[in-house]
Chains A and B, each alone.
Chain A
Amino acid sequence: MSLEAKPIEQLHAEKLGKWTLALVVLIAALFVAILLCVCVGTVYIPPDRVLAILTGNTAGIPVYEVNIIQQVRLPRILLAGVVGACLSIAGTALQGIFKNPMASPSVIGISQGAAFGASLTIVLGFTLAEGDFAIPVSAFIFAMFTLFLVYMLGRVEGALPTTTLLLAGIAVGAFFSALVSLMQILAAQGSTGTMERVVFWMMGSLSMANWSQFWIVLAFLIPGFVVLFAFSRDLNAMIVGETHATSLGVDPKNTTKIMLFGAALVTGAAVAFTGVIAFVGLIVPHIMRMLIGPDNRILFPASLLGGAIFLILTDTVARTIMAPQELPVGIITALMGGPFFLYLLRRKREATEW
């Protein structure tokens, strides 16, 4: 029997089976990735000892190893996880709502806008929220603003073609990253470490990670994910077309607003503490879509898990490959993401005409 002649019940059951399998494998992979990445670093700590520390059984283990795990590696790895998750679900939402496989937070400039918002708070003391939330809230506000700007600039007769979306995104993104660099340089004039801070914002880095950052990003990730996931079926209908969505009882304007809001929320949180980490939000949704299909009801959870795994692994590479010298994680993601982006661009042009 040929593939397309399978009965409908079977096709549907196979799809659901694939979803369950994907979730189980991704969750398992996430735990394995966390465990392995906690082990490696300037000091190697074997998995059995790491497990003992993680389960609170520190008897007979040197104090410095306990500290490395609990205060340095674990918060950093978990922050990488939530940041990767945020960027990936944002990418999934943006690709869906713009019906455009090239969309992602950094490609269309939202991450750079969020970095500008964060820098305003850090450098000039501009705040809209109290304490630890000050930076992510300004990052979120500017992520929203940038999204709106790119959307308005890229629109041609009500549609958002790839070329104008990318051009608007690149221009707006470049403008905001220039402002970020300028601010950092002016603020730190003459003092040492200025360029490091500029590079931090341009390439993204997890080297300043701490526990409070992890909790704050998680506090944005959870509601962001719930909102996006709740509207995943509506997003499916939107991908078929706005008139189709209306016919299926979906309000297209409302769905668009919710998707953009959710994407800006999680992008703002991700960028606030780690700068602009490029390509995560582009690659991960694509890989997940290739593996399990385009249905956003599975794509959001799968991107969340896949994004976490991806950034945990790439950040571990970034901090160990040239140890003790640390690379910005953005270098690793861009080295992988650049070629992948070109591959998508080529393949799409050959496969379909936009």
Chain B
Amino acid sequence: MVRMRLSVQGIEFAYNSTPVLKDVAFAASEGEIIGVLGPNGSGKTTLLRCMNRALSPSKGTVMVEEKEIGSMSRKEIANEMAVVPQNCVITFPFTALEVVMMGRNPSMNRFQREAKRDIEIVKKAMEATSVSHLAGRSMNQLSGGERQRVIIARALAQEPKIMLLDEPTLHLDVNHQMEIMELVRELARREKLTVIMVSHDLNLAARYCDKLILLNEGSVLSAGSVPEVLTQDNVEKVFRIRSLVQFDARIDAYSLTILGTVSGNGG
């Protein structure tokens, strides 16, 4: 039986009384990759931020297994859930190793030093994302793709059950986009990690996600499998493009073809 890892229950959120999220609900089980799609301003990143309580929703709850995150400390949340933010620009020359080691912070006391076990975990995490050879290099010297892999290694070093990714492939070259997504899928399968990923890239999401959630103006328009969600009607309504989703046997996954834009007043 597949266990429920995470459930988002009727979340509402408003920035200065402008509603951003309206009654958003979904659940994710272990090992599952869920893609959160939607145009700019549809509330994707806000949803992610509510999920790790960087923001507090005005209504609704987020449950990690049997625990409500509202009742957990930030450290407890960090031990269950790791976030890979959009980008990182570091002012001072921290090395890749130092950044990955920060993933151990939530499990340590304020004055505790890293123990042998922590170093082992960090080593494994860096091997998993193939960044061991970059350990001694300053983060600022790494390419965007390398940096993103280091941040994913840090997320793994937290030993989380859930990983939240905010546009993990933004600003990356095509080959790095593929690399990151292959890595995420492998981690989900091997480590039984639940992955929630916000993405702009419909094609990448169609290819790698097990389930999709389509947000439109802060509400869930559609949720389910790739062909259920990325229907011609849904995509046209939300993104104003005409498209076609097909199963492509060559890549053993769904692929989305953009046929054209919807001109005029649309909707």
User: Chain A residues in contact with chain B, CB under 8 A?
Assistant: 3-6, 8-9, 11-12, 15, 95-96, 99-101, 230-231, 233, 236-237, 239-241, 243-244, 246-251, 289, 293-295, 352
Min distance, Cβ B51 to any Cβ of chain A, angstroms = 11
Tell me whether B83 and A8 are in contact (CB under 8 A): no
Shortest Cβ distance from B84 into A: residue = A247
Residues of chain A lying within 8 A (CB to CB) of residue B106:
248-249
| Contact among A101, A236, A293 for B102, CB-based, below 8 A | A236
Tell me whether B105 and A237 are in contact (CB under 8 A): yes
Min distance, Cβ A21 to any Cβ of chain B, angstroms = 16
Q: How far is the CA of A231 from the CA of B98 in the complex (A)?
A: 16
Q: A8-B122, A249-B106 are in contact. Are A239 and B90 (CB under 8 A)?
A: yes
Q: A12-B97, A241-B88, A295-B94 are in contact. Are A4 and B83 (CB under 8 A)?
A: no
Identify which of B7-15, B133-141, B174-182, B186-194 touches chain A. Answer: B133-141
| Contact among A9, A243, A251 for B83, CB-based, below 8 A | A243
Q: Kindly supply a per-residue 1/0 record for chain B positions 33-76, scoring 1 wherever the CB is within 8 Å of any chain A CB and 0 otherwise.
A: 00000000000000001001010000000000000000001111
Residues of chain A lying within 8 A (CB to CB) of residue B126:
8
Q: How far is the CA of A266 from the CA of B145 in the complex (A)?
A: 41
Q: How far is the CA of A223 from the CA of B248 in the complex (A)?
A: 64
Q: How far is the CA of A248 from the CA of B106 in the complex (A)?
A: 6
Q: A6-B136, A8-B126 are in contact. Are A101 and B114 (CB under 8 A)?
A: no
Min distance, Cβ A257 to any Cβ of chain B, angstroms = 15
Q: How far is the CA of A6 from the CA of B96 in the complex (A)?
A: 13
Tell me whether A8 and B74 are in contact (CB under 8 A): no
Most buried by A among B52, B103, B132, B136: B136
Q: A4-B133, A8-B123, A12-B119 are in contact. Are A294 and B94 (CB under 8 A)?
A: yes
Q: How far is the CA of A240 from the CA of B84 in the complex (A)?
A: 12
Shortest Cβ distance from A230 into B: residue = B110
Shortest Cβ distance from B92 into A: residue = A294
Q: How far is the CA of A263 from the CA of B148 in the complex (A)?
A: 33
Min distance, Cβ B75 to any Cβ of chain A, angstroms = 4
Residues of chain B lying within 8 A (CB to CB) of residue A244:
83, 85, 88, 102, 151
Tell me whether A11 and B135 are in contact (CB under 8 A): yes
| Contact among A3, A6, A240, A250 for B90, CB-based, below 8 A | A240
Interface residues on B, range: 35 or more
Min distance, Cβ B113 to any Cβ of chain A, angstroms = 8
Tell me whether A3 and B85 are in contact (CB under 8 A): no
Q: A3-B136, A243-B83, A243-B85 are in contact. Are A248 and B158 (CB under 8 A)?
A: yes
Min distance, Cβ A168 to any Cβ of chain B, angstroms = 19
Q: How far is the CA of A5 from the CA of B126 in the complex (A)?
A: 13
| Contact among B82, B92, B98 for A101, CB-based, below 8 A | B92
Q: How far is the CA of A100 from the CA of B90 in the complex (A)?
A: 10
Given A8-B97, A246-B74, A250-B74, 10 more pairs with CB closer than 8 A? A4-B135, A4-B136, A8-B132, A9-B119, A12-B114, A231-B110, A233-B110, A241-B89, A289-B93, A294-B98
Q: How far is the CA of A293 from the CA of B97 in the complex (A)?
A: 13
Residues of chain B lying within 8 A (CB to CB) of residue A233:
102, 105, 108, 110
Min distance, Cβ B167 to any Cβ of chain A, angstroms = 12
Residues of chain B lying within 8 A (CB to CB) of residue A11:
95, 97, 135-136
Min distance, Cβ B32 to any Cβ of chain A, angstroms = 20
Residues of chain A lying within 8 A (CB to CB) of residue B164:
247
Shortest Cβ distance from A243 into B: residue = B85
Most buried by B among A5, A99, A294, A352: A294
Q: How far is the CA of A4 from the CA of B126 in the complex (A)?
A: 13
Min distance, Cβ B14 to any Cβ of chain A, angstroms = 18
Q: How far is the CA of A112 from the CA of B233 in the complex (A)?
A: 63
Residues of chain B lying within 8 A (CB to CB) of residue A294:
92-94, 98
| Contact among A237, A239, A247 for B82, CB-based, below 8 A | A247
Shortest Cβ distance from B89 into A: residue = A241
Tell me whether A249 and B75 are in contact (CB under 8 A): yes
